[in-house]
A and B are shown apart, each in its own frame.
Chain A
Amino acid sequence: MRTVTRKSRLAVWKFASCDGCQLTLLDCEDDLLALAATVEIAYFPEAGPMNSGHYDVSLVEGSISTPAALEHIRAIRRRSTHLVAIGACATAGGIQALRNFADAAEFAAAVYPQPEYLRTLATSTPIAEHVPVDFELRGCPIDKQALLEVLAALQAGRQPVLPHHSVCIECKARSSACVMVSRGSACLGPVTQAGCGALCPAYGRGCYGCYGPQEAPNPAALSARLGALGVGAQTMRRLYRTFTAEAAAFRAESERHGA
């Protein structure tokens, strides 16, 4: 029988991101008491308490986009037993990874009056590109039930029960009409990993690919069909370069449709 010896120490870290994923933790309203009974939230600037030391679980939000972040993520890895990357930024570079396809210095010069004060990297990259990651929780933002499932699984020492297959399987399970087949809309569902409950197609929109590529993505075959439906090269490129542009399969496919 399982006995709880002590609460797990949980830390929540932020890199280049919008905060939406870490706020998902605070959004777990009905489960916050259960969470507090199981874990000690030892570091969570967004919520208040701050402690130092070693952490059983570090939830890491955001992408690596500065030299300081590069150092920081290595320190976090050393201080964490389990490191879980949460959200599209931490797992695929996020929207800010669009800089990877352009000149970051040029962007900086256009935005800031004195860009020489900025210390920024030329790219925005996922956490796993810099340190070993124990689990990647996808989404933009992540789903709170999925976050609780990851924490419960870590607590129990089991694999999280989360899908790696396409969004289509969730879309069909909720009996939504396929927007691609019934309306000719562009949809990334067939190449995107499930986890959102096929939210956008349920509201008549094509999938934006927030959860990044599914386990066996075939974007070239999808693009061929989208092309036949009238999607041009520029739109195609943008489709694959929204929330998870740095994910390998989407990046490669976007590059097939121009720079």
Chain B
Amino acid sequence: MQAYPGLYPVAPPQSAGPEPLMTSALAPPQVLTHAGFDALLAELKRSGHRLLGPIVRDDVVVYDDIESTADLPRGWTDVQDGGHYRLQRRGDDALFGYAVSAQSWKPFLHPPGQRLWSARMRGDAVQIQPEPPPSERMAFVGARACELHAIALMDRALLGTGPGDPYYRARRAQVFIIAVNCSVAGGTCFCDSMHAGPQVTAGFDLALTELSDQSPPVFLVHSGTTAGSAVLAAVPSAPANAAQIAAEQTILAHTRASMGRKISSTNLHDLLLGNLQHPSWTEVGERCLACGNCTMVCPTCMCTSVADVSDLSGERISRSRRWDSCYTSEFSYLHGGSVRHSTAARYRQWLTHKLATWHDQYGSSGCVGCGRCITWCPVGIDLTEQVRAIAAPPAG
């Protein structure tokens, strides 16, 4: 990889390629019925977790509060393409038979708005009231491999090696993760290309594979942590048989083979940074709405801006941060104006950071191949197409 010194402090090199398979599992896989899964959710609730999982709301699968498996998107799947999302019936009772939800877990770990402190002025005295980090325990039910990779990337950025972000740290430290191996790939999925899925390999307490064609339908469950094992041990389960363990790999092979999108991830860093003046940036800038949707749904876009506000009396002041986007003009506003004033420049900044300079900054790609930026772009701009356009020699 070509070095671009001075752009970012260079992170220690990380091993490229897929992470090892589930060798970290603490015990042989177990099998859980739907009733057993419900008991597991009840057990997490009993131990004080706020249960969050996929539900269908406004014709879309989103993560929200759940009570039990009755809230999950039973029998639904999703059809996704550039700027297109529709739910469809599967014809079975699968609980996790959709590919990828509209939004990732990002809002729960790194919410759109976060007050940092407030202050009160009384005469000449200023009282500053720090905003305490939250203490809520959350359980993420149904996290996908790409999402766990995204959380790992956010961990690297927001926890890092320094003091990190205390709000992210507080939320993250208490999360219990039930991951799910993907049994279908969506039309815009390309996690396989990014070595970020579809198999869950790390970063979970429990990992499920839904064996929905068995009668009755069951889940194969792996424990990834002692906390996961303890919760699993508290509910009725049985050891998995060889056929069930084999079925998991068959499902994953099928998912891997049906990725809706592909990207050549070999040295995207040099390809993109070596083509900063490629005419396709201008072309995509003409189609791009600069609406920021791609950055809002990206599970690793974590940029924020900070603003101070005062009330009418001027006595109460507060500082808050909120999600920001490299598609806004204020994002790159320095003295006298925006550094990136064209939409093409903003798109280029987003894509080159995500796929290229992220390597310099954090030692890996910033993309996990979830495809949300493609699906939720109102005009269906496709980063995999953009990379292909850059890779192609310019016409003329």
Which of A's residues lie within 8 Å of B, judged by CB?
1-2, 4, 31, 34-35, 37-38, 148-149, 151-153, 155-156, 158, 161, 164-166, 168-169, 172-178, 180-183, 187, 189-191, 204, 214-216, 218, 221-222, 224-225
Query: Which residues on A sit within 8 Å (CB–CB) of B38?
Result: none
- Evaluate contact between B322 and A222: CB separation under 8 angstroms: no
- Evaluate contact between A156 and B296: CB separation under 8 angstroms: no
Q: Is B307 part of the contact surface with A, judged by Cβ < 8 Å?
A: yes
Report the 8 A-B pairs with minimum CB-CB distance, sorted nearest first: A172-B296, A173-B112, A190-B291, A177-B60, A166-B291, A190-B289, A177-B58, A168-B291
Interface residues of B in 360-396 (CB under 8 A from A): 375-376, 378-380
Nearest opposing residue in chain A for B125, CB measure = A1
- Evaluate contact between A165 and B293: CB separation under 8 angstroms: no
The number of residues on chain B lying at the interface, defined by a beta carbon within 8 Å of a beta carbon of chain A, is 49
Nearest opposing residue in chain A for B113, CB measure = A173
Give the distance to chain B from A162, nearest Cβ to Cβ, in Å.
10
Nearest opposing residue in chain B for A192, CB measure = B291
Which of B's residues lie within 8 Å of A, judged by CB?
57-60, 62, 64, 83-86, 102-103, 107, 112-113, 121, 123-124, 286-293, 296-297, 307-314, 322-323, 325, 327-330, 343, 375-376, 378-380
- Evaluate contact between A222 and B343: CB separation under 8 angstroms: no
- Evaluate contact between A2 and B314: CB separation under 8 angstroms: yes
Partner of B313, one of A37, A178, A224: A37
Query: Which residues on B sit within 8 Å (CB–CB) of A204?
Result: 58
Nearest opposing residue in chain B for A203, CB measure = B58
- Evaluate contact between B289 and A221: CB separation under 8 angstroms: yes
Give Cα distance in the complex from A65 to B46, angstroms. 65
Give Cα distance in the complex from A108 to B121, angstroms. 57
- Evaluate contact between A172 and B85: CB separation under 8 angstroms: no
- Evaluate contact between A222 and B312: CB separation under 8 angstroms: no
Give Cα distance in the complex from A215 to B284, angstroms. 18
Tell me if A's interface is mostly helix, strand, loop or mixed.
Answer: helix
- Evaluate contact between A173 and B375: CB separation under 8 angstroms: no
Given contacts A165-B325, A166-B290, A169-B292, is CB(A190)–CB(B58) below 8 Å? no
Give Cα distance in the complex from A129 to B314, angstroms. 33
Give the distance to chain A from B53, nearest Cβ to Cβ, in Å.
14
- Evaluate contact between B375 and A181: CB separation under 8 angstroms: yes
Give Cα distance in the complex from A2 to B380, angstroms. 51
Query: Which residues on A sit within 8 Å (CB–CB) of B343?
Result: 216, 218
- Evaluate contact between B329 and A225: CB separation under 8 angstroms: no
Given contacts A2-B314, A34-B313, A221-B287, is CB(A182)–CB(B60) below 8 Å? yes
Query: Which residues on B sit within 8 Å (CB–CB) of A4?
Result: 314
- Evaluate contact between B102 and A222: CB separation under 8 angstroms: no
Query: Which residues on A sit within 8 Å (CB–CB) of B291?
Result: 166, 168-169, 189-191, 214
Besides A155-B314, A177-B60, 8 more A-B contacts (Cβ < 8 Å) are A1-B123, A152-B310, A164-B330, A169-B325, A172-B296, A178-B293, A187-B378, A191-B291
Nearest opposing residue in chain B for A31, CB measure = B312
Query: Which residues on A sit within 8 Å (CB–CB) of B62?
Result: 175, 177
Give the distance to chain B from A138, nearest Cβ to Cβ, in Å.
16
- Evaluate contact between A216 and B59: CB separation under 8 angstroms: no
Give Cα distance in the complex from A164 to B314, angstroms. 24
> Max chain A CB contacts within 10 Å: which of B64, B288, B378?
B378
Nearest opposing residue in chain B for A184, CB measure = B84
- Evaluate contact between A175 and B107: CB separation under 8 angstroms: yes
- Evaluate contact between A166 and B289: CB separation under 8 angstroms: yes
Query: Which residues on B sit within 8 Å (CB–CB) of A225?
Result: 83, 378-380
Give Cα distance in the complex from A155 to B322, angstroms. 24
Give the distance to chain A from B386, nearest Cβ to Cβ, in Å.
15
- Evaluate contact between A165 and B289: CB separation under 8 angstroms: no
Give the distance to chain B from A150, nearest Cβ to Cβ, in Å.
11
- Evaluate contact between A38 and B376: CB separation under 8 angstroms: no
- Evaluate contact between A168 and B310: CB separation under 8 angstroms: no
Give Cα distance in the complex from A191 to B375, angstroms. 18
- Evaluate contact between A183 and B59: CB separation under 8 angstroms: yes
- Evaluate contact between B329 and A177: CB separation under 8 angstroms: no
- Evaluate contact between A182 and B378: CB separation under 8 angstroms: no
Nearest opposing residue in chain B for A167, CB measure = B291
